[in-house]
Amino acid sequence: KLENATIKAELGRASWKLFHTMMARFPEKPTPDDSLALKTYIQLFARLYPCGDCAAHFRKLLERYPPQTGSRNAAAGWACFVHNQVNKRLGKQEFDCNKIGDFYDCGCGDEDGNKKN
Ligand code: FAD
Nearest CA to ligand 1 atom 10: 95
Question: Which portions of the chain are predicted below pLDDT 70?
Answer: 112-117
pTM: 0.95
**How crowded is the C-beta side of 98, counted as CA atoms within 13 Å?**
0
Using the mean position of ligand 1's atoms as its centre, give its distance from the Cα of residue 117 in Å.
Answer: 31
The reported pLDDT for the residue numbered 112 is 61
Write the ipTM: 0.99
Nearest CA to ligand 1 atom 19: 80
Nearest CA to ligand 1 atom 46: 9
Mean model confidence pLDDT for the chain: 94
The reported pLDDT for the residue numbered 114 is 54
- Note whether 83 and 70 are within 8 A (CB): no
How many Cβ atoms from other residues are within 10 Å of residue 7's Cβ?
10
